Amino acid sequence: MADALPKILIVGGGAAGLELATELGQKLGKAGKAQITLLDAASTHIWKPLLHEVASGTLAEAEEIEYLAQAHSNHFRFLFGRMEGLDRANKEIIVSAITNKKGEEIIPQRRFKYDTLVMAVGSVSNTFGIKGVDKYCRFIDTTKEAFRFQKQLVETYYIQSYANQSRQRDKPLSIVIIGAGATGVELSAELHEVTKLLATYGLEGSIDVNITIIEAATKLLPALPPRLSQATQEQLIKLGIQLKLGRKVTEVTETEVHTYDGEVFDADLKVWAAGIKAPDWMKDLDGLESNHINQLVVDQTLQTSDPDIFAIGDCAACEWVGHGGNVPPRAQSAHQMASTVAKTIINRLKGKPAAKFVYRDYGSLVSLGKFSTVGSLMGSLMGTVSVGGLIAYGVYLSLYKMHQVAIHGYFRTAMLTLSNLFRRSTHAKMKMH
C-alpha cells in the first residue's frame, strides 16, 4: 500500500529541509496521503545560525535534534546517507556508499525513487580557489566541523598554556577569522568570551589570546546598514578584536595568513568564513540549470526546470523580485521557502496550482554573545528601524524559537526553553572536551 502512495523525497535536513519534512509528515504522512522521506548525511540537526556557538563550545548539547526521533514523532521516514547524483529519467537519486573508519564499505551505493524531489542541501564555504585554505583552515559549515574546531581550540589552549608556563613560548595564541559577515563576526565575539572562560576554569597558567578578523571589503556586515555596521565595529574593537578590513587573503600556510598587500598574520588557528556556495556535485546536476556558485536556478514557485524537482534554502537561486539579485541565503528565507513548497506539494496532490514564493525581508540581526546584539527590523508600517541591546537580542532569539516551533510545536518549544534555563544554572558555561 505504501508503494502506491506519492513519494516525496527531501534531500538535506537543515532548517528548510527539516521544517518541510515535519510539516508534510504531520499533514500528509499522518493521514496516509503520501510517503515523506528525508535524507541527510548526518544523524542530528542543529540550526545552522547556532554553529558558531557549537564551534566555541558554548551551545548546550540538548539543542541537537535526532533525525530518527523527529521522523518517528512526525510521520516521516529518515534515511542516512549522502546524495551524489540524480537520474531524472528514472526519477531516482543516487546515494553514496557508506564506509567505516577503516575505509571498508558497510552499505553499498543505493538508489531511491521519488515522485516529487526537494533539494535542501544548504551551502558550504566558498574558498575561491585560494592557496592553502582547504588544507589549513577550519570551516564551520556542519555540526561535525564545528565540533572539530571546538576540540582543536581547547587542545591548542592547553598546549599554549603549558608552553608559556614552561617558558617554551611567550607569544599570544593567535586566532584568525577570514570573513566579516555574520558568521565571522558572531564567532569572534563568542571566542572572546570563551577565552576568558578558559582562563577561569583552573588551567595552569593564563595566556594572552589575539583574535583577528580579516575581510576583503572595507566594512563589516555588508547586509546591515552602515550605521549598524559601524556600531558593530566599535563593539568588537572594545572587546580587543583586531579588524583588518580591505585586505584580500592570497594564501594560507600552516602558521600564517598572507594578504594581497604583503601583510602577514601569525595564526595558530584559522577559520574560513568568507563566502558560500552550494556543494560542487550540484553543478550541472543531470541537466538542471545552476549558477556560478552551484545553486539550482528556480522560478517563483521554487521549481527547477524539471517541474517535479524543487530547491529551497541556500542551495536555491531564486530571483528577489523588485530588489535585483537573488533571495539572500538566510534562515528566514529558508523558513519561508519551506512553507511555500509545503503548500505547493499539498496543492499538487489536490490538483491545484503551485503557490508563489514571495520573500519578505524582516531585517538582519547579529548577536555578539552576551556583549551586544545589533540589527535592523523591516516592516510595511515602520520601514527600516535600527535596533540594539535587549530588544535586538529578544528578536534574535525569536528567530530560533520560530524554527523550534516549526519543528516541535508551541508546547514542546516552551518546555525546551525552560529546560535549557535550568541546564544553564547547573552546567558549565562551555564544553571542555
CB 236 within 8 A of CB 213: yes
53-67, 90-104, 215-229, 413-427: segment of lowest average pLDDT:
413-427
- Of 170, 158, 155, which is closest to residue 208 (Cα–Cα)? 170
Quick: pLDDT tens for 35-73: 999 999 999 988 787 787 888 877 655 578 899 999 999
What is the edge-to-edge ordering of all strands in the sheet holding 373-379? 363-367, 373-379, 383-388
Quick: pLDDT tens for 387-413: 444 455 555 566 666 766 777 777 666
pLDDT at 292 over 70: yes
pLDDT band at 430 (very low <50, low <70, confident <90, very high): very low
| CATH superfamily to which 133-275 belongs | FAD/NAD(P)-binding domain (3.50.50.60)
CB 318 within 8 A of CB 357: yes
pLDDT band at 203 (very low <50, low <70, confident <90, very high): low
Quick: pLDDT tens for 297-323: 999 999 999 999 999 999 999 999 888
pLDDT at 244 over 90: yes
In Å, how far from its chain's centre is CA 53? 11
pLDDT band at 190 (very low <50, low <70, confident <90, very high): confident
CB 137 within 8 A of CB 178: yes
> What pLDDT is stored for residue 247 in this prediction?
94
Q: What are the sequence ranges of the domains in the chain?
A: 2-123+278-349, 133-275, 363-425
> What pLDDT is stored for residue 405 in this prediction?
75
Q: Calculate the average pLDDT of the chain.
A: 84
pLDDT at 278 over 80: yes
Q: 2-123+278-349 — its CATH code?
A: 3.50.50.60
Q: 2-123+278-349 and 133-275 share one CATH topology?
A: yes
- The DSSP string of 197-209 is HHHHTT-SS---E
pLDDT at 165 over 90: no
Q: Who wins on pLDDT, 47 or 267?
A: 267
pLDDT band at 378 (very low <50, low <70, confident <90, very high): very low
- Of 236, 263, 237, which is closest to residue 249 (Cα–Cα)? 263
